[in-house]
Structure 1
Amino acid sequence: MLLLADIDFDAAAALLARYGLQLHRVADDAPIPGSYWGDCEAGLIGCNVYARGDTPVHSLLHEAAHLIVLPPERRAAVHTDATDSIEEEDAVCVLQALLGDALAGVGRDRVLADMDAWGYTFRLGSAKAYFEHDADSAWQWLQARGLTDAQRRLQLA
């Protein structure tokens, strides 16, 4: 699994900053604030995403995507659990793969493979199959919120 320590922290922070988020590096031996799953999984508090060197990149991108899909006025109230609905969760799974494409040395294929290794489950058997063949409603959800469009979808496919 690709970890935060394996990629350029500053590039990840710059990506999140484009969406009004701040990435905080947590000391390796410290608990991660706002982590829903605990252990090494990324955490959320307001517009802040917390991660350690051993945080999986897919976790960091997933939690950041939860904040990205929220209107800025709702972000301030987020602490640990940002999910609003199944539809949001599905859209966040697509968005985290797209965010992976924006980071050198990561890419959507790695994000999707790491999602499978972590234990995500999808009807078609893998995150990649979901992304490529079963995520139409997630694409529509993102598009309705101005987070992607059909042209961008084709460019990234």
Structure 2
Amino acid sequence: MHTPSDRDVLCLRDVAFADAAALLARHGLELVAVPDGEPIPGSYWGEPEAGIIGPTVYVRGDTPVHSMLHEACHLIVLPPERRAQVHTDATDSVAEEDATCYLQIVLAGRLPGVGSERLMADMDAWGYTYRLGSTRAWFEQDAEDARAWLTARGLLL
């Protein structure tokens, strides 16, 4: 299996931090930059993956954009009372995980310099796996449940 490096995917250092912070702020989240080389608080998978604690997403310059969006979307799909209690691990169901993956692709389309196409390619490069063989195939052909889940909660506009 390919072990990707941060050079294989778009990282936070490659996009305007202010744009990423503004995107998350529209969903009631705060994006906090951690200095390079420092541990990332609340990182489930370890560095350079993003971390989450309450409504805060922690990243470094080498954090992949897909990781930042994925962790942010874990928080977005939660009701506010659950969001406030999150520390490191936010998922408690397959439906939430699928909704998170779908929403991160949608939000990438709203992040200047990223876009949904690039994010899906980065997700594949990083090792996300789907039964249809690619993130794009899943998103376009097999994500009806995730779309319905997000729509029912008013998270897709």
Residue 145 of structure 1: which of 136, 153, 156 is its match?
Answer: 153
Higher relative contact order, chain-length normalized (CA < 8 Å, sep 6+): 2
- TM-score, normalization by structure 2: 0.94
Matched, 1:85 2:81: no
Looking at secondary structure, tell me which structure has more helix per residue. 1
Alpha-carbon shift at residue 12 of structure 1 (Å):
0.3
Runs ≥4 residues deviating over 6 A: none
Q: How does 1:70-109 map to 2 (within 5 A)?
A: 70-109=78-117
- TM-score, normalization by structure 1: 0.94
Matched, 1:56 2:64: yes
Looking at structure 2, the residues matched to 139 and 84 of structure 1 have their Cα atoms a distance apart, in angstroms, of: 18
Structure 2: give runs of 5+ residues left out of the alignment: 1-8
Structure 1: give runs of 5+ residues left out of the alignment: 153-157
Matched, 1:34 2:42: yes
Looking at structure 2, the residues matched to 73 and 28 of structure 1 have their Cα atoms a distance apart, in angstroms, of: 32
> What's the % identity of the aligned pairs?
67
For 1:17, the aligned partner's letter is A
Looking at structure 2, the residues matched to 84 and 147 of structure 1 have their Cα atoms a distance apart, in angstroms, of: 18
Deviations 1:131-153 (A, max 9, x none): 000000000000111101xxx5x
Deviations 1:89-131 (A, max 9, x none): 0111110001100111100011111110111100100000000
For 1:114, the aligned partner's letter is D
Looking at structure 1, the residues matched to 84 and 74 of structure 2 have their Cα atoms a distance apart, in angstroms, of: 13
Partner of 1:124: 132
For 2:51, the aligned partner's letter is G
Deviations 1:12-69 (A, max 9, x none): 0000000100000000010000000002000000000000000000000000000001
Looking at structure 1, the residues matched to 87 and 12 of structure 2 have their Cα atoms a distance apart, in angstroms, of: 21
Three-state SS of the structure 1 residue aligned to 2:154 is coil
Alpha-carbon shift at residue 73 of structure 1 (Å):
1.2
